Structures are given as C-alpha cells and as structure tokens.
A = this chain, B = another copy of it.
Amino acid sequence: MNTLIVYAHPEPRSLNGSLKDLAVATLEKAGHAVRVSDLYAMGWKAAVDAGDFGPSASNPLRVPADSGRAFDTGTLTPDVRAEQEKLLWADTVIFQFPLWWYTMPAILKGWFDRVFTYHFAYGVGEHSDVKYGERFGEGTLAGRRAMLSITVGGRESHYAERGINGPADDLLFPIQHGILYYPGLEVLPPFVLYGADRVIDFPDIAKAWERRLLSLESTEPIAFRRQNYGDYEIPSLELKEGLEPVGRSGFRLHVRP
C-alpha cells in the first residue's frame, strides 16, 4: 500500500504531530510505503493567485480556466505538481489535522484550493444526457481511498445527533463528500478524537489509531451515491424521488441505505 499523509499542524510535538508520527511508524513497520506532506514544514503557500499559473495566467485572472490551462500545459508551479504526483502515486491518503472553527486549518484548505485544479480534480470528463462530468464516484483519483484523522477540542456530545455543533458526520460532509469523493476518492469513516485540549490517555489513543491504520485495506468506505449511475436526474442533479428511507433528508440523502 502506498500511503500519502497530508499533515497540517504548526507544532511537531502536538497530538496531531504524534498521530502523524505513529501513522508513519505503524504503516512502515507493516511493510507499506509512506510519504508525508508536512504543510507547515514545507511552508505551503495557502492562497490561490495568478502566480500559481505562470505564463498561462490570463488578465483578468480566471481561476478555473487558468488552472486548467496550466495543468494541461504542465506549467503549474513545482509545489503543486509535486502534490498531484504524490496523489497519483498513493492508493491511500490520510489527512491529519485539528478541527479549527468546524473545518480544516487554512493551510490545508489552501492545499486543496491549489492542488485540486481544473482538469485534475474537477472539470474532468464529458457532459451528456446521461453523464455530468466524471465526479462523485468517478474522476482522476478513482480507485484510491482517503481518510480524515482529526482532533476536536469539544466534547463528543456537542457533536452528537442533537449536539449544538451539529452531528460530526454532517460537519464533515462538505469535506468528505464535497472535496474527497468529488474527484473519485472512496472515503473511509473518519478517526475523530474529542476533548483533545484536555487530559489525554495517549497509550489508549495510540492503540485505537494503530488498529484503524492496520485495517485500512479492509475497512468499508462510506456508501456515498455515485452521480452517473441512475440515482440522480441529469442535469439538475437532484436525487430521484423514493430512493431514500422514509424521513431521511439533507446530506444523508446522498448515502446509500
């Protein structure tokens, strides 16, 4: 198994840093190849701008078109090209980060904004009467798997079905479905540590994390619905009536029963 770990925390001696180190050690010991993108250590540039597209940038700048042209002509910046190459090398991608303001840190969002370019992660495949591009179940990264490993400051009950922050699965839907599943990655259930700012029994956490890491290949992904296989009207992309269990709504419509 080729595993890419994309890691976003400013402090190497943090809980996130320890989980990343443990993942590298555990997977390598089990015979897997591991590469790490340590975004803070790399000084990752977070903001998309004209500098990303070199001579391909138009004036005025048009981010989707310009990123697609730079991708097609191989003129994206070397940092972005390197990350795209790592994604194509990997068959499993782990994202290790703290949940800040209910989503990923800016430096990691900037990794997606810059690496997931047009023609690489979106704007892939044909549009027709039966197909609306290759995405949500198809796409450049199809056949690969991804998993979030996150630390959360609050208590687990705050992220429960009736918790004030909203259910964790719903908070993570825009990332797991909207970002990861979009270009074809199958998404494994996340590894979530609550109460991360309080006292932590690290040996117990380490054991649970090792178990998840060593069962990555046999873990069933979240059963998100595929876009082009009959569940959705095209081009409105609304779920056809009657496919969901009674009472299910919102994001949960897009997971197969």
Show the binding face of A for B, using Cβ within 8 Å.
Answer: 10-14, 40, 44, 46-50, 60-64, 98, 100-107, 109-110, 112-113, 116, 136, 153, 155, 157-158, 160-167, 170-171, 173-174, 177-179, 182, 197, 227, 232, 235-239, 247, 249-254
Contact A113 B102 (CB under 8 A): no
Contact A170 B250 (CB under 8 A): yes
- Bound form: Cα–Cα A161–B238 in Å: 8
> How far is the CB of A140 from the nearest CB of chain B, in Å?
15
Interface centre among A50, A61, A101, A252 (most CB of B within 10 A): A101
- Bound form: Cα–Cα A37–B47 in Å: 16
Contact A46 B106 (CB under 8 A): yes
Q: Which residues of B contact A113 (CB under 8 A)?
A: 100-101, 105-106
Interface centre among A14, A109, A112, A254 (most CB of B within 10 A): A109
Interface SS of chain A: loop
> How far is the CB of A158 from the nearest CB of chain B, in Å?
5
Q: Which residue in B13, B106, B116, B153 is a CB contact (below 8 Å) of A48?
A: B106
A sample of 18 inter-chain contacts (CB < 8 A) reads A11-B60, A11-B61, A48-B100, A48-B105, A101-B179, A105-B113, A106-B106, A110-B110, A158-B237, A161-B249, A162-B238, A162-B253, A164-B238, A166-B250, A166-B254, A170-B170, A170-B250, A170-B251
Q: Which residue in B13, B153, B173 is a CB contact (below 8 Å) of A60?
A: B13
Q: Which residue in B46, B61, B162 is a CB contact (below 8 Å) of A46?
A: B46
Contact A197 B64 (CB under 8 A): yes
